[in-house]
Amino acid sequence: MPTLSLINFNIVCATLGGFISIFGLVSYLFKERFYLSEALISLLAGVIFSPHAANFIRPQEYALGSEQNLEDITMYFTRLVLGVQLVLAGVQLPKRYLQIEWKSLSLLLGPGMAAMWMCSSLIIWALVPDFQFVPSLIVGACITPTDPVLSNSIVKGKFADKNVPRPLQRIIVAESGANDGLGYPFLFFAMYLLKYVGMNGEGYSGGAGKAMALWFYETWVYTILLSVVYGITVGWASRELLHWAEEKRYVDRESFLVFAIALAVRSTLLFVVGTCGMIGTDDLLACFIAGNVFTQDDWFRLETMDDSLQPTIDMLLNLAVFMWFGAVCPWPSFLNNGVIPIYRLIFLGILILLVRRMPIIFAMHKYICQIEHFYQAAFVGFFGPIGVGAVFYLSVAREFLLQITVNGKVREDAQKVAEAVDVIVWFLVICSIVVHGLSIPLAKAGYHLPRTISQALTTTTTMESDHIPIGNNWRTHSTATRSIGLVNNRNRKRVAAREPTSESPTFEIHSETGQAEEPARPVNLIIREDGVEYASEATPTEGP
């Protein structure tokens, strides 16, 4: 007798597949007409399907009820998504882009990231009660990198094509790709200090000297430099292998187009992420470098420019990861936690979005050639989203902090920081997804709505009003017979009356005598877009 098999695997496949299918049917409407980001839509879907609502997605059951298992799943999932995104970010940059634009990138990745880290840490230090500065540096480091997944909403699609210049799109892609891997030095600088200096280094000897030594040779030399060398090697080898296979005609066109995904998922993602994970180096930075070196000669990027397979895989992963975020986010902890009250948490989110990135971009924008004027600086300063990368560094930080133990128990200061980083980073990620996801549609609505209302009111007023006041007189026109000339301008629409003819007479009605008189000169009727109309006597303007 057939029975229902309501196991988690079947429910997840049905839920995820159904959502992606429905979203695919209306994706153009949401993304290209309403300018809503797929991250925001997926996050809301994750909340709806989570245990807090429909209970179709049950993260705790997948993790067998273990909080540590759940954090591990989240960390590995974010690593997978970031690996794909960073390889694709490296592949889509033009020939020798990192070498050509090294000055602009150096400013964004050097002083830019340092200022973002310090501004975020100072705000957290000021607003979180009983929080010291070193723990604030840990939380600030998690939210310092800009997210390559959320950045896609402003560098891809109809809005970006119309409003964001191509050089600006590329510098945003390059920055968001590189700084995700460069978040390690900021994070481990603070965590080593906490471990060897916090609580007078209880359980760990060596002090600040050992902390700085570990930070230098373990983080910079082993984690960062080794990942750069490794990424260059894998990217170069993959490119040469593809050239060799193409010359020998060992690869057909279908396989050639799929090689981007093979590079991202199989060759680079699975190989680089797996091997970097085994040796403990920076897999995110290695993925970005490998993707960029792979397309160093620009041949592969130009050959696959019209390929739709990469964006498809990209969208599927983005939808899945943000649905997962909506399901696993610790929503109740925002209201009830022993770290920070909700009103301070909200104020913290507002300040981070405004102050974390904007000041340093304004200070440096004159030295970054891709940012041409003040408005572009405001755009780049505001759109520095916090997303998948922050959740990844959150998982890395908690894994490290919970290993700082004394007598088999997590040390008190490390436990407090682990709780704080979980609440604060998750809240800031949600704030960024919502605010940056709604910024473009709200800005477009705020720009178009007054203009639409103004034009509607102007049209109504023009059609209904045949009497136009001029001083103390009233000039009445025969709307049935007059001829109008239209001149379009960027800021106004000008409508001018032609010379009166015998076929279309125009009369003046004096306000006091009431007698009809011949007009001395034709009238220019000017209608502005803000709904204000007025008329003046002037030299006639010929119509079209």
DSSP 218-256: IIIIIIIIHHHHHHHHHHHHHHHHHHHHHHTT-S-HHHH
DSSP 456-468: HHHHHHHHH--EE
pLDDT by residue (tens digit) across 267-296? 556 788 888 888 888 989 998 998 888 888
Of the listed ranges 2-6, 168-172, 274-278, 421-425, the least confidently predicted one is 2-6
C-alpha distances in Å from residue 476, one per residue of 45, 536, 543: 60, 13, 20
Residue 98 and residue 201 in one domain = yes
Q: What is the CATH number of the domain that holds 370?
A: 1.20.1530.20
C-alpha distances in Å from residue 288, one per residue of 11, 126, 228, 405: 35, 35, 9, 35
Non-local (6+) Cβ contacts of 366 within 8 A are none
Higher-pLDDT residue of 498, 257: 257
pLDDT by residue (tens digit) across 490-542? 343 333 334 444 444 444 444 454 455 555 444 444 444 444 444 444 444 44
pTM of the model as a whole: 0.80
Q: Give 265's DSSP letter.
A: I
pLDDT band at 249 (very low <50, low <70, confident <90, very high): confident
Mean pLDDT of 49-77: 92
* Cβ contact 425:394 at 8 Å: yes
pLDDT by residue (tens digit) across 200-248? 888 898 899 999 999 999 999 999 999 999 999 988 988 888 778 777 7
Domain assignment present for residue 18? The answer is: no
pLDDT at 153: 73
Domain assignment present for residue 89? The answer is: yes
Higher-pLDDT residue of 531, 113: 113
Element (H, E) at 140: helix 133-142
pLDDT band at 460 (very low <50, low <70, confident <90, very high): low
pLDDT at 265: 44
pLDDT at 440 over 60: yes
Alpha-carbon span 332 to 326, nearest angstrom: 13
Give the other-Cβ count within 10 Å of 155's Cβ. 22
Domain assignment present for residue 51? The answer is: no
Residue 85 and residue 215 in one domain = yes
Residue 234 and residue 210 in one domain = yes
pLDDT at 113: 96
Residue 282 and residue 403 in one domain = yes
Residue 351 and residue 497 in one domain = no
pLDDT at 259 over 90: no
Residue 308 and residue 200 in one domain = yes
Alpha-carbon span 431 to 466, nearest angstrom: 52
Residue 328 and residue 203 in one domain = yes
User: Which burial class, exposed, middle or buried, applies to 322 when counting CB atoms under 10 A from its CB (0-12, 13-18, 19+)?
Assistant: buried
Number of domains making up the chain: 2
pLDDT at 466 over 50: no
Residue 352 and residue 498 in one domain = no
* Cβ contact 474:467 at 8 Å: yes
Catalogue the long-range contacts made by 312-316 (C-beta closer than 8 Å, 24 or more residues apart): 313/84, 313/261, 313/264, 313/265, 314/84, 314/85, 314/88, 314/152, 315/27, 315/38, 316/20
Chain center to CA of 163: 15
Residue 298 and residue 167 in one domain = yes
Residue 111 and residue 241 in one domain = yes
State the distance between the two ends of the chain, measured CA to CA, in whole angstroms: 80
Of the listed ranges 76-80, 159-163, 367-371, the least confidently predicted one is 159-163
pLDDT at 114 over 70: yes
Domain assignment present for residue 20? The answer is: no
Higher-pLDDT residue of 484, 337: 337
List the domain range (segments joined by +) for residue 516: 465-537
Query: Rounded to the nearest 10 degrees, what angle do helices 8-28 and 38-49 cross at?
Result: 150
